[in-house]
């Protein structure tokens, strides 16, 4: 194991709980951060500053003007640039000793095996519950520690899941969780949650004891802080690893390059409500069934690829040969039909 620049990490090294040896071990650790928004941008930059040797960053989004009030590692000049590339450049300049693997695409069922390969710890910094469940499931199967984080308006929560309860023990897929994009966010809550996630991640990587099976909950509107013990749910899917594997490895997504423009029928769900709120679902079922046949596949697409996956899962359960388009509308322009 190569040595480290002790002067750079001196304030860590002199802590008796860390010391030179543990600080040096951080150099060989590999961490995956999924999402580079208010949580992930902070976490990735600080993990690099702390000396974690390998960071795999994944985010397909671009910097927008409304990000800047809370995502402070992006600047005005970064507008419209890929977040993954901006953060990689920032880290390379701040600590060139850290290797950064920046991936500007969304985590999906089609690429999770590659994304999670050889990772010691994964940190969730996403704002969509469906992606949090995907991270949870892959982490459970591969036995990778999973640091969860979530923010909503003035509220936030964080936990480290490993070898016991999981995210599904707390929430099910029907849980309604609006995103910051839809509901707004109080900037200080993102600082608090990312700090707890950082602390949990570092303590795990350094072998420092931490509170297991604990959900940390913040409410900054009422200046309150709670801790809840997370108890394993006996009926949770995580108790049946084979079922969990089956749900993960079943093909669900399709890349735009694999769409057959002559045979596949692409439905654009951009202006369609979420599945549970769709009052015209029966009408849609009739239309989809009338178009689906032995030759045609149904491909759903939407802006981010979340809603399309939800509909694809629903129609697959009805026996329809259908897929969700990876990356949603980010995949490029392909001809599609609206749902009327």
pLDDT at 333: 46
pLDDT 10s digits, 31-44? 999 999 999 999 99
Q: In the predicted model, what is the mean pLDDT of the chain?
A: 85
- Sorted by sequence, the CB contacts under 8 Å of residue 212 that are 6+ apart come out as 160, 162, 164
Q: Facing residues of 214 across strands?
A: 229
CB 55 within 8 A of CB 100: yes
* Token pair of 42 as six digits: 């902070």
Asked if residue 110 has pLDDT above 90, the reply is no
Q: Indicate the pLDDT class of residue 331, thresholds 50, 70 and 90.
A: very low
pLDDT 10s digits, 310-322? 888 788 767 677 7
pLDDT at 116: 94
Question: For the chain, what percentages of helix, strand and coil (3-state, to nearest 5) are there?
Answer: 40, 20, 40
Q: What is the pTM of this model?
A: 0.76
Q: Indicate the pLDDT class of residue 307, thresholds 50, 70 and 90.
A: confident
Domains recognised in the chain with CATH numbers? 10-242 (3.40.50.720), 252-331 (3.40.250.10)
- Sorted by sequence, the CB contacts under 8 Å of residue 136 that are 6+ apart come out as 124, 146, 148, 161, 166, 167, 168
pLDDT at 154: 95
- Give the integer Cα–Cα distance in Å for 250 and 170: 24
Asked if residue 63 has pLDDT above 70, the reply is yes
Give the Å distances, CA to CA, from 79 to 42, 196, 296, 327: 18, 28, 40, 20
Q: Count CB atoms within 10 A of the CB of residue 313.
A: 18
CA-atom Rg of the chain in angstroms:
21
């Amino acid at each position: 194991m190569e040595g480290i620049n002790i002067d750079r990490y001196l304030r860590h090294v002199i802590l008796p709980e860390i010391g030179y040896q543990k600080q040096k071990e951080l150099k060989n650790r590999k961490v995956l951060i999924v999402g580079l928004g208010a949580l992930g941008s902070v976490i990735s930059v600080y993990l690099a500053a702390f000396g974690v040797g390998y960071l795999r960053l994944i985010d397909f989004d671009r910097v927008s003007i409304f990000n800047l009030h809370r995502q402070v590692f992006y600047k005005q000049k970064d507008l419209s640039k890929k977040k993954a590339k901006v953060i990689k450049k920032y880290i390379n300049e701040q600590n060139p000793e850290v290797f950064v693997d920046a991936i500007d695409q969304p985590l999906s069922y089609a690429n999770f095996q590659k994304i999670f390969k050889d990772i010691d710890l994964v940190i969730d910094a996403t704002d969509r519950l469906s992606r949090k469940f995907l991270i949870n499931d892959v982490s459970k199967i591969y036995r990778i520690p999973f640091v969860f984080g979530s923010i909503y308006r003035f509220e936030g929560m964080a936990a480290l899941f490993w070898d016991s309860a999981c995210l599904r023990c707390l929430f099910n897929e029907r849980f309604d969780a609006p995103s910051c994009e839809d509901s707004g966010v109080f900037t200080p809550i993102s600082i608090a949650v990312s700090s707890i996630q950082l602390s949990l991640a570092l303590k795990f990587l350094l072998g420092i004891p931490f509170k297991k099976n604990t959900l940390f909950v913040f409410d900054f509107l009422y200046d309150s802080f709670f801790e809840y013990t997370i108890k394993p749910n006996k009926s949770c899917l995580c108790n049946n690893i084979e079922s969990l594997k089956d749900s993960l490895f079943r093909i669900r997504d399709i890349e735009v390059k694999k769409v057959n423009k002559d045979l596949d029928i692409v439905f654009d769900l951009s202006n369609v409500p979420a599945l549970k709120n769709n009052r015209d679902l029966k009408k849609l079922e009739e239309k989809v069934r009338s178009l689906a046949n032995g030759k045609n596949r149904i491909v759903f697409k939407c802006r981010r690829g979340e809603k399309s996956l939800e509909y694809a899962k629903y129609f697959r359960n009805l026996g329809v040969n259908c897929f969700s388009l990876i990356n949603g509308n980010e995949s490029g322009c392909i001809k599609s039909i609206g749902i009327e």
